[in-house]
Chain A
Amino acid sequence: MIKVCFFADLRERLGCADMLVEHFSGENIAQLKDFIVKQHPQWEKIFLEKKLLIAVNHAMANNNSAIVAGDEVAFFPPVTGG
């Protein structure tokens, strides 16, 4: 099981703050995205955006980053703090 969180603009557009992804047998973020899009086809366009940032267990990651059961994955837009 993987915990997936969404933030800011992305959270509002998807209408989802977080979800638990079960029965995922892939190994990386790209495969997780495909898995989620199969369950939520209406999210596909949003998931293909180039500027979408990714974190795994609170560290910045990318499409090739490895993930295992129990990881926390977050997707969010470019940051605008400070």
Chain B
Amino acid sequence: MNIAGMGLVSARGRGVAALEQALEQGWVPPGEVEVKGLASGRLPVYAVSAETLSDKVVLAKARRADRFTRMAVLAASDALQDSGLGASVDKSRLGIIVATALGPHATTFSFLDGILDFGDAAVSPTAFSHSVHNAAASYIAMTLEARGPTLTVTHFHFAFHQALEIARSWLDQGRCDAVLVGTVDELGSVLHHVCGRMTKSAADGRITPFAFSATPETVPGEGRAFFLMTRDPDGAAYGCIKPVGGAVPDGGASLQLLDADGLAKDERAYRAAVIPGMPVAGYAPLFGGLLTGSAFEVAVAALMLKKQRRYACPVRDNPHSISLLSEPLTAPLSAVVCIKLDCSGRAASILLGRSAS
């Protein structure tokens, strides 16, 4: 299936141009938030700015929505806009799939605040209706007037991979002409606390994807990456995505991206997952650690294929002397594989090709 358009919202801004700028600029230090209950009292994070979410035109129908949904609506709308297919897509055959690990938890906790502060009989119906995982998909559908199937799926490691395969299934079955598929996960005060206690914070603010550490360090991130997928060979602005595999392919790609973001308790398995002889890159240091961060790696890979440009790794600590992509390079690039491992070392890979499928 082909990638016709992309939309992104991250700490580095909104849209494909912001992604490209971040890749050219490289690593920048994260921000910091105050965190209740942590000994340090602070946590480095890559958070999406309020300014990034301030588009009153696109968000007109989502003006009551929370940050989780606003990020989703912007990225999905941008993906459709970026494809240039907005006017030609039959909205009754436009599907939406949202993948998330944790859903709109900040709104869930806001709803719990209502219970604790005002009692069970006096909670906000708005907070409740926005706390369901599929509120974001609903707002995307309303904003884009998309009348095809909408689906929200969750998985703690491979939500995006599963969503991509469902999108492929919908296209293959003729259920949809085009599918907007993407991820969203957000930070919030409780998640800051949970991350502070359950992960090891990178003191210098740098995620090191190639350390393959038994005790990896991370900087939590948030954001959204959306893709407009089609079967139309003319809609392959960013190339295509081959069937998602459980095993790491041993051929076909000339660059591998590792989604090692420090969220796992142990990242040593990534060392064994590296395909020998193939250059390695990883971009989690730009966006932070997200359970659905694979979507950002795929966005980088797609942009590389479109631009025929390899972007240098933003953090290049390389204690294992692997073949790291340390300098930018403009040269032919036909395929890129993105590799993700879960906590038990199971792998999932996404192979992107330059030509239409």
Are A and B a genuine interacting pair, yes or no? no
